[in-house]
């Protein structure tokens, strides 16, 4: 069937494969850090403090695994997954895996830059280099431009938090993000010579984009996705359903420039209306939640709608949840 990935071929490819020295699918990746495995330490065991190098390697692993958590989620309206290609004819899950493999060192480097209190110009240069690597790996297809920006900034904030000796938490990360780079991000959000689908759409429809979201301290991550994710987890619905709820909360809330680019204002209204209806019916707590999510997926695919901005923000929320010690 066109656009559908062979699950038997896709299943062995994991986030850990993106972290090793071989290409995705070629062999095992880095072993998980003991801090990332439930129950890895014996009761009462004393853990040695992480070195700076160990910390940035761990954060890079979490960033890649957060991207994989988003990719592997299904049903996920209009978006590429391990099950099908959603509304996209130019990319598959394998494209995203190649992109993740290309980005694995970027997340460690930008974490180190944040720890060094680097100015935004340095973070931006790292992001530009990461984007070039992504485009080389995907033959020019934009899989993770938004994630390079959003997750990169969060990695930098985590690096700054670690360097300051502060325990990472969502409020601390948000405050650090604004305090260290808020002014530069606000300037970066203003109209400029930079040209992308996102900036053109933001100007045409007078909506915000990833730059404005970052300048405001990522409210969609901290005020929308993270609370939805945590509420579902605390209710015992598990990671998959929690991520579905967080994604639908984002689709209901944000002005997604990816959606405006593909479907205009009418497409954006369709995404918001469908997402709000899903949540109003109980979200993933409803008995028929999966059937309704699959129907939404079919509607988005038929209309070529793809809420890629919401997907990037979901990955960002997964990173914050993981890096602050929460279940995910």
- Which residues share a beta bridge with 54? none
CA-CA-CA-CA torsion sign (243, 244, 245, 250): positive
Cβ neighbours around 120 below 10 Å, total: 19
Scanning 254-288, the segments in alpha helix (DSSP H) are: 257-280
Instruction: Provide the pLDDT for residue 10.
Output: 41
> Cα-atom radius of gyration of the chain, to the nearest Å?
19
Instruction: Provide the pLDDT for residue 257.
Output: 87
Instruction: Provide the pLDDT for residue 328.
Output: 74
Cβ neighbours around 324 below 10 Å, total: 18
Kindly state the tokens that stand for 269. Answer: 């209204």
283 dihedral zone (left: phi>0; alpha: psi -120 to 50; beta)? left
Cβ neighbours around 64 below 10 Å, total: 26
CA-CA-CA-CA torsion sign (226, 125, 140, 200): positive
Instruction: Provide the pLDDT for residue 14.
Output: 62
Instruction: Provide the pLDDT for residue 39.
Output: 37
Burial of 314 (0-12, 13-18, 19+ CB in 10 A): buried
Instruction: Provide the pLDDT for residue 87.
Output: 96
Angle between helices 120-137 and 170-189 (to 10 degrees): 90
- Which residues share a beta bridge with 84? 4
Residue 223 is classified by DSSP as I
pTM of the model: 0.85
d(CA 306, CA 121): 31
8 A C-beta contact, residue 69 and residue 59: no
8 A C-beta contact, residue 145 and residue 196: yes
Cα angle 203-148-2, degrees, rounded to a multiple of 5: 85
Terminal CA-to-CA distance of the chain, rounded, Å? 33
Residue 12 is classified by DSSP as T
Cβ neighbours around 41 below 10 Å, total: 12
- Per the listing, tokens 């980005």 go with 103
Instruction: Provide the pLDDT for residue 4.
Output: 39
Instruction: Provide the pLDDT for residue 46.
Output: 65
Instruction: Provide the pLDDT for residue 275.
Output: 98
d(CA 47, CA 115): 22
- Which residues share a beta bridge with 4? 84
Kindly state the tokens that stand for 156. Answer: 């930098």
328 residues of the chain, pLDDT tens digit each: 334 333 334 444 565 655 554 444 333 333 344 445 433 445 565 668 889 999 999 999 999 999 999 999 999 999 999 999 999 999 999 999 999 999 999 999 999 999 999 999 999 999 999 999 999 999 999 999 999 999 999 999 999 999 999 999 999 999 999 999 999 998 887 765 455 554 555 445 344 567 788 888 999 999 999 999 999 999 999 999 999 999 999 999 998 888 988 889 899 999 999 999 999 999 999 999 999 999 999 999 999 999 999 999 999 999 999 999 987 7
Kindly state the tokens that stand for 48. Answer: 């040695």
């Amino acid at each position: 069937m066109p656009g559908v990935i062979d699950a038997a071929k896709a299943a062995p490819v994991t986030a850990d494969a993106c972290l090793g020295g071989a290409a995705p699918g070629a062999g095992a990746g880095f072993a998980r850090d003991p801090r990332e495995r439930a129950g890895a330490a014996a009761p009462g065991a004393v853990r040695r403090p992480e070195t700076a190098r160990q910390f940035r390697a761990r954060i890079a692993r979490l960033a890649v695994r957060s991207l994989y958590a988003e990719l592997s989620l299904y049903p996920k309206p209009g978006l590429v997954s391990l099950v099908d290609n959603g509304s996209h004819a130019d990319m598959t899950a394998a494209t995203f895996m190649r992109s993740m493999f290309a980005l694995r060192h970027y997340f460690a480097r930008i974490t180190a830059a944040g720890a060094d209190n680097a100015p935004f110009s340095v973070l931006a240069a790292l992001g530009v280099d990461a984007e070039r690597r992504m485009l080389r790996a995907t033959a020019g297809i934009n899989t993770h431009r938004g994630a390079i920006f959003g997750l990169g900034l969060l990695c930098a904030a985590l690096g700054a938090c670690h360097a300051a000796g502060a325990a990472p938490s969502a409020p601390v990360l948000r405050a650090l993000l604004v305090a260290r780079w808020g002014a530069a991000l606000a300037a970066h959000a203003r109209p400029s010579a930079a040209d992308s689908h996102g900036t053109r759409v933001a100007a045409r429809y007078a909506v915000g984009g990833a730059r404005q979201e970052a300048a405001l301290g990522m409210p969609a991550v901290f005020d929308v996705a993270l609370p939805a994710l945590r509420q579902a987890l605390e209710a015992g619905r598990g990671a998959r359903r929690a991520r579905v709820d967080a994604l639908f909360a984002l689709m209901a809330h944000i002005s997604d420039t990816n959606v405006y680019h593909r479907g205009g204002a009418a497409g954006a209204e369709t995404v918001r209306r469908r997402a709000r209806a899903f949540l109003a019916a109980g979200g993933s707590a409803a008995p028929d939640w999966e059937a309704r999510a699959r129907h939404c997926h079919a509607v988005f695919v038929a209309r070529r709608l793809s809420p890629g901005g919401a997907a990037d923000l979901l990955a960002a929320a997964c990173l914050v949840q993981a890096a602050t010690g929460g279940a995910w």
